[in-house]
Chain A
Amino acid sequence: MYRSPTLYGLVLLAGLLTAPLWGQRDYRDGAALERSIQALEQQYGEYLEASTLTETAAGHPIWLLTIGSDDRNTKPGVAIVGGVAGHHLLGQELAMGVAENLLAGTTVDSIQQLLEEVTFYVFPQVSPDAATQYFSGLRYERQANGRDTDTDRDGYTNEDPGEDLNGDGLLTMMRIAAPDGEYVMHPADARVMRKATAADPPAVRYHLLPEGRDNDMDGQHSEDGPGGIFFNKNWTFQHPTFKPGAGEYAVSEVETRAIADFLYDRFNIFSVITFGPSENLHAPLEYRSSNDRQRVITGILKGDAEVNKQVSGLFQEVASAKKGVRASTNAGGFMEWTYFHYGRFGFGTPGWYVPDWQMPEDEAEAAQYKPNDDKNADVNFLRWAEAANVENAFVEWTEVRHPDFPDQTVEVGGMAPFVQLNPPYGEVRELASKHTDFAVRLGQLRAQVALTNIRQEQVDEGLWRVKATLVNTGQLPTTSEIGDRFNWLKRLRVDFGMADNQALSTGQEVYLFPAMQPGEARELSWLVRGNGTVTIEAGSPHVGTDSITLNLQ
């Protein structure tokens, strides 16, 4: 049927206009990310400053997008970090998506207003070395950065990488039938391997190993490949020193150090959202009395658990969280560091979970599917992937000749890399939109201080009483319970400034207060000798300030 050229033209125009934002068809590699950032700079230079914090050992940049208006570093700030796990490309897209949506939203009053008051620091990709493996000729889930290390600590470096035995451009798994194998086929889906139990006879058992050879004949397969240190294992909370990918000591890598140094300098940041494997938004972390019974705190503190619950509730409202997800933390992880060691309101989520596949209602259809009694995640994923038309979710088991196992049947196959953690790209836009809404709402929830109920009374000639009530008018505490314990966040400070001829009879020129809860109020009062103009200023870098000027004449 004939279509009008005008319609085509309009569609084309619309496409061109949104192309910089949503011309994306797939997860972005380093070059595409750079182009996107440059496009944003060109379009939104008033609100955006793009910079590189440093380069990794392999020469990839760590991008930082500072989004806000005017003196950005003087406003309370929220940091948003993506790519903490190198194989979680979704994290990068969510972080970039939030940046893009905020900037596109500056035409809307509420967003523009927010950016006058809050600054967003977006790090879209903090594992750029590892992320390249998604786009490489040999694809596998890599978290290691580009600095070569002796991962298995045997005195040789990179001596045992994986090999692509079936030539499919992927590193998956191998299964080898053996009576002493630790795995068996899953009853619900023979493609899926699950751990064997004592009840499984020898005839049905398999070894399950990473695809490759045991090049250094040490009994382990593919345990020392290219790279490297994992960004999300290199932080100080429960650092798993000497474990593969963690490093000789915490914060050992150029990129972790650069980010830590930057964040420590930014006293105005009050919250960090991390898109990565750790979760406390779909479900909050819970307080248990064992958390702070030891000297080393291993779990969230009571007051902060309340805040986590509140914010998690907000997230579930805004982002339609998945039910049944559990909160989780990882040793050496970044999100964990943002709370436990950086003292901020630290939140994290992978951003997407494989939906629970439902058995079809129609009996005939349902008969095709054997029951997944132990709720095996791989089985669920394959069923969902099939229904959702996800391509190449699984590599069929195919026999290969394996030099290490000359007389045995070795099959290469298994779950495809990336697909269980990164949804089909078509879903990313909506996910980014929801997470942007959350970030905006979190910004609006922030603690704010106001000097209210100002009173000035002339007690006598040249003697004045000045009173004020300092209130936290926001919906979060001014500082987290853990953050108030150490000195990387400033106290609430009240300054009483006077003219040279004035002096105080009661009250201090400087007050320093610990955290204030939402709605909490403090009474302040001064007795001033002498006429003149006084100013009261209250606040802190991560809360913002309020000030008032009084003419005592």
Chain B
Amino acid sequence: MLSNIKYLIACFVLLPLLATAQTPEQIFQAVGTPANPKVNISFNRYYTAEGLEALAKKLADAHPDLITLQSIGKSYEGRDLWCMTVTDQSMGPDLEKPGFYIDGNIHSNEIQGSEFAIYTAWYLAESFGKNKFITELLKEKVFYIVPTINPDARNAYMKGENTANTPRSGMIPIDDDRDGVYDEDGYDDLNGDGEITQMRRKSPYGDYVADPVNPNRMIRVGEDERGTYEYLGSEGIDNDGDGQINEDRVGGYYDANRNWGWNWQPEYIQRGSHHYPFSIPENRAVMEFAIAHPNIAGAQSYHNSGGMLLRGPGAEEDRGTYSRADVRVYDQLGEMGEKLIPGYRYLTVYKDLYSVFGGELDWFHGGRGVFTFTNELYTSYLMFNERTRDREDMELFGEKLLFNDQFMEWEEYDHPVYGKIEIGGTRKNFGRADPGFLLETDAHRNMAFTIYHAYQTPKLVIEEVTEKDLGNGYLEVTATVGNQRIIPTHSDHDLTNKISPPDFISIEGVDVVAGMRLLDRDMNQAREQEFRPERLAVDNISGMSTVDVRWIVKAGTDTPYTIRVESAKGGVVTKEVE
């Protein structure tokens, strides 16, 4: 008996200690993951907007030489949109490096992109100085990571009366039914269980029966049968007396991902596009940030679900904005993505999904010339690592791996309109959001894809500089500038529209008499630039290729000078020549 008491006391004392972190000596690293991070984050759960903000602050505080945190604007309800700038700050200003932009959660119920973004910032910062590849990456590139670009509605989804599919948009009141009153008929948590589930009613005229194996589930009966239940839709009542239930919800209907400024179309062509490009304040904040950071050369905007690596065109009408050469770059990135994230497919929006106007990726590609992907996160493939649509397999997953945590059991309820009904069914955190035990894996693989994409943004190198003495005090200087990655400094679409300025290759420290672009070095074909010959404008430096420029300067062979390359998306590179 006494030993039992001692045992109990021991448990009481030890229990809190078990909750604190292990000491470093007790830890053995699992390969590929920082084992002793400065910031400890659980990547098996989701965070509200405030939760994400707290994590971002912790990361910035713990890594001041790598991460700066800034608010890029305010949401409709006045929350900050936080951006972490992640780079080795000792290697020059971030605007002079190729940038990679990541955001998540543009659709408020598509939440896990935010956790994936936090995971990316965390992994990069914690691996710097420990992993050679990541260290080099952060010297050369800068990551702009905005975990959520829809914090208001993220919270509304998590804490408010919503389903797995709502509110999708944001909190700006929209008069969906055009009756002059706003947001007056949303979902209602009738039974007060904190969830918006479904309503059903026993009926001899119904289309559904309860699954005998798992009575929580409803199965639709065959065409020629009668069931025992009617499905009545999501939990709610007719709040505004107009004969409809839940038709004018808060946060309905506009779609932040239809409001961007490339080929924007009005509501009757593209539902949800709102008033005009960037009339939605969160989008405006991101747009202003992107325009202020013309060094962004690659981008990712996370959605859910379906397991896809999406590129544009979003609208069929925009096929002309994707040339063969541009598509080849996307193909190379997309095909690598399919290898890194089994179960995810590389697809084109208008062709493989549906044609939409005014998407974020359309504006990044069409309006800024940035090679952009949107990943639709999580897919049923991840349940058993096979393409399964078998209902039994899905059942097995819920029952044996989630232990039916995804269901609320059916409860009786007295409805003012429908009478005696039952309320229950699947919860909103099931189906689109990664289950807890799959979150970190999915985050890591998607992060790896974005790191590959970021790695392939231009890397400009002044490959060689040769001199030729022309006599009479004149020197001919020839410089070869190369791009050692697959993404060009200008996409074809960028070149067609002159979205970004040209790349400038300059020589400094000497008097320049003439400057020219060498179109063919061997054949000595050159095109002279008469205006400011010391600063040669080059349209583009393609992926894995070089350009040659030449100056005739008044200098001796031992005169020092500097060659300088300024590219919006390729960064600034200099080479001093003695």
Q: Which residues of A contact B (CB under 8 A)?
A: 150, 153-155, 215-218, 236, 239, 241-242, 248-252, 257, 260-261, 264, 295-297, 340-341, 482, 485-491, 493, 508-510, 512, 540-541
Pair B504/A155 contact, Cβ less than 8 Å: yes
Question: Which of B179, B266, B291, B367 lies in contact with A490, CB distance below 8 A?
Answer: B179
Ordered by A's residue number, 11 sampled pairs between the chains whose C-beta atoms are within 8 Å are A153-B501, A154-B498, A239-B264, A249-B278, A249-B367, A260-B275, A295-B355, A485-B267, A486-B267, A488-B267, A491-B178
Return chain B residues, CB-CB under 8 Å to A260: 275-276, 279
Whether A251 contacts B241 in the complex (CB less than 8 A), given A154-B501, A482-B268, comes out as: no
Q: Is B177's CB within 8 Å of the partner chain A?
A: yes
B317 in the interface (beta carbon within 8 A): yes
Q: Is the CB of B266 within 8 A of A241?
A: no
Given known pairs A249-B261, A296-B269, the reply for A242 and B317 (CB within 8 Å) is no
Docked CA distance A474–B537 (Å): 63
Shortest distance from the beta carbon of A301 to any chain B beta carbon, whole Å: 10
Q: What 0/1 pattern do residues 494 to 512 of B give for CB contact below 8 A with A?
A: 0001110110100000000
- Give 10 closest A-B pairs by Cβ, nearest first: A249-B261, A155-B501, A153-B498, A485-B268, A486-B267, A217-B531, A486-B268, A251-B276, A242-B497, A491-B178
- In this complex, which of B241, B269, B275, B499 has the most chain A Cβ atoms within 10 angstroms of its Cβ? B275
Is B464 an interface position by the 8 A CB rule? no
Is A510 a contact of B242 with CB atoms below 8 Å?
A: yes
- What residues of B have a CB within 8 angstroms of the CB of A485 in the complex? 267-268
Bound Cα distance from A185 to B276, whole angstroms = 46
B276 engages A487 (CB within 8 Å): no
Q: Which residue of A lies closest to B174 (CB)?
A: A487
Most buried by A among B176, B243, B277: B277
Q: Are A250 and B276 in touch, CB under 8 angstroms? A: yes
The docked-state distance in angstroms from the alpha carbon of A296 to that of B265 is 8
A512 and B264 contact, CB distance less than 8 A: no
Q: Does B469 contact A (CB under 8 A)?
A: no
Q: Within the assembled complex, what's the spacing in Å between the Cα atoms of A154 and B501?
A: 6
Q: A512 and B242 in contact (CB under 8 A), knowing A154-B501, A295-B317?
A: yes
Contact partners of B65 in chain A: CB under 8 A = none
Known: A487-B176, A490-B178. A217 touches B269 (CB 8 A): no
Q: Which residue of A lies closest to B284 (CB)?
A: A257
Q: Which residue of A lies closest to B568 (CB)?
A: A155
Residue B262 interfacial (CB < 8 Å): yes
| B residues less than 8 Å from A252 (CB atoms) | 261
- For residue A522, give the distance in angstroms from its CB to the closest CB of chain B: 16
The answer for the CA separation of A512 and B176 in the assembled complex, in Å, is 12
Q: State A493–B178 Cα separation when bound (angstroms).
A: 9
In the bound complex, residues from chain B placing their C-beta under 8 Å from that of A153 are 497-499, 501
User: In the complex, what residue of chain B is closest to A263 when comparing beta carbons?
Assistant: B275
Q: Are B502 and A154 in contact (CB under 8 A)?
A: yes
Contacts of A239 in B (CB 8 A): 264
Say whether B338 faces chain A, with CB atoms less than 8 Å apart. Answer: no
Q: How far is the CA of A260 from the CA of B264 in the complex (A)?
A: 15
Contact status B499-A487, CB under 8 Å: no
Residues of B within 8 A of A295 (CB): 269, 317, 355
User: Chain A contacts of B266 at CB under 8 A?
Assistant: 236, 340-341, 486
User: Do B276 and A296 touch (CB < 8 A)?
Assistant: no
Is B463's CB within 8 Å of the partner chain A?
no
* Chain B, 265-316, CB within 8 A of any chain A CB: 265-269, 275-279, 287, 291
Beyond A154-B501, A508-B242, whether A236 also contacts B267 by CB under 8 A is no
Please tell me if the beta carbons of B268 and A491 are within 8 angstroms of each other in the complex: no
Q: Which of B174, B243, B276, B363 contacts A508 (CB 8 A)?
A: B243
Minimum CB–CB distance for B174 against chain A, Å: 7
Q: In the docked arrangement, what's the CA distance between A251 and B267, Å?
A: 16
CB closest residue in chain A, given B363: A249
Given A250-B261, A512-B242, output 13 extra A-B contacts at Cβ < 8 Å.
A215-B531, A248-B367, A249-B261, A250-B276, A251-B279, A295-B269, A487-B178, A487-B267, A488-B267, A508-B243, A509-B242, A510-B242, A541-B180
Contact between chains at B267 and A490 (CB < 8 Å)? no
Query: Which B residues form the contact surface with A (CB < 8 A)?
Result: 174-180, 240-243, 261-262, 264-269, 275-279, 287, 291, 317, 355, 363, 367, 497-499, 501-502, 504, 530-531, 537
Q: Which residue of B lies closest to A152 (CB)?
A: B498
Residue B241 contacts which of A216, A341, A510, A540 (CB distance < 8 angstroms)?
A: A510
In angstroms, Cα B276 to Cα A239, docked, is: 11
With contact pairs A486-B268, A488-B267 given, residues A155 and B537 touching in the complex (Cβ less than 8 Å): yes
CB of A216 within 8 A of CB of B177, answer: no
Given contacts A236-B264, A249-B277, A487-B175, contact A242 B241 (CB under 8 A): no
CB-CB under 8 A for A249 and B262, given A217-B531, A242-B497, A541-B180:
yes
Chain A proximity of B58: nearest CB distance (Å):
36
Query: Is there an interface contact between B277 and A242, defined as CB atoms closer than 8 Å?
Result: no
B262 / chain A contacts, CB cutoff of 8 Å: 241, 249
CA distance A296 to B268 in the complex (A): 9
- Asked whether, in the complex, the Cβ of A264 is within 8 Å of the Cβ of B275, the reply is yes
Closest to B502 in A: A155
* Residue from B243, B268, B277, B363 in contact with A236 in the complex, judged by beta carbons closer than 8 Å: B277
Contacting residues, chain A, for B241 (C-beta < 8 A)? 508-510
CB distance from B112 to the nearest CB of A (A): 30
Q: Which residues of chain A are near B177, meaning CB under 8 Å?
A: 491, 512
Distance in angstroms between the alpha carbons of A169 and B557 in the assembled complex: 51
- Residue in chain B with minimal CB distance to A540: B180
The answer for the CA separation of A509 and B242 in the assembled complex, in Å, is 7
CB closest chain-B residue, reference A215 = B531
* A153-B261 Cα distance, complex, nearest whole Å: 19
| A340, B176: Cα distance in complex, Å | 20
Tell whether, in the assembled complex, residue A489 and residue B498 are in contact, meaning their CB atoms are under 8 Å apart. Answer: no
- Is the CB–CB distance between A490 and B180 below 8 Å? yes
Assess the B499–A216 pair: CB atoms within 8 A.
Answer: no
State the CA gap A264–B242 with chains docked (Å): 26
B residues near A489, Cβ cutoff 8 Å: 178
Q: Are A296 and B537 in contact (CB under 8 A)?
A: no
Nearest to B254 among chain A residues (CB) is A487
Q: How far is the CB of A506 from chain B (nearest CB, A)?
A: 13
| Distance, CA A249 to CA B278, complexed state (A) | 9
B576 CB to closest chain A CB (Å) equals: 24
Q: For the complex formed, measure the closest distance between the CB of B505 and the CB atoms of chain A, giving whole angstroms.
A: 12
Q: Closest B residue to A159 by CB, please name it.
A: B531
Decide yes or no: A493 and B501 within 8 Å by CB, A154-B537, A248-B367 being known contacts: no
A257 to B277, CA, bound (A): 10
Known contacts A150-B501, A218-B531; is-contact A512 B178 (Cβ 8 Å) = yes
| Contact assessment for A217 and B499 in the assembled complex, using a CB-CB cutoff below 8 Å | no
A residues near B287, Cβ cutoff 8 Å: 249
Q: Which of B175, B265, B498 contacts A242 (CB 8 A)?
A: B498
User: What residue of chain B has the Cβ atom nearest to residue A485's Cβ?
Assistant: B268
Which residues in B have their C-beta under 8 angstroms from that of A488?
Answer: 267, 275
**Bound complex: CA A261 to CA B291 (Å):** 22
CB contacts (< 8 Å) of B264 on chain A: these are 236, 239, 249-250
The distance in angstroms between the C-alpha atoms of A153 and B180, with both chains bound, is: 45
Write out the residue numbers on chain B whose beta carbons fall within 8 Å of the beta carbon of A241.
261-262, 367, 497
Most A C-beta atoms less than 10 A away, residue of B176, B355, B531, B537: B531
- Given the complex, which residues of B lie within 8 Å of A296, measured CB to CB? 265, 269, 317
- Distance A216 CA – B502 CA, assembled complex (angstroms): 14
Select from chain B the residue with minimum beta-carbon distance to A218: B531
How long is the Cα–Cα vector from A217 to B174 in the complex, in angstroms? 52
Contacts of A490 in B (CB 8 A): 175, 178-180
Q: Evaluate contact between B261 and A217: CB separation under 8 angstroms.
A: no
Across the two chains, which residue of chain A brings its CB closest to B267? A486
- Note all chain A residues with C-beta closer than 8 A to B537: 154-155
Report yes or no: A493 in contact with B176, Cβ–Cβ below 8 A: no
* Cβ contacts under 8 Å, A491 to chain B: 177-179
What are the residues of chain B within 8 A of A215 when measuring CB–CB? 531
Candidates A154, A217, A251; contact of B277 at CB < 8 Å:
A251
Chain A residues within 8 Å of B355, by CB: 295
Distance, CA A252 to CA B262, complexed state (A)? 12
Nearest CB of A to B110, in Å: 24
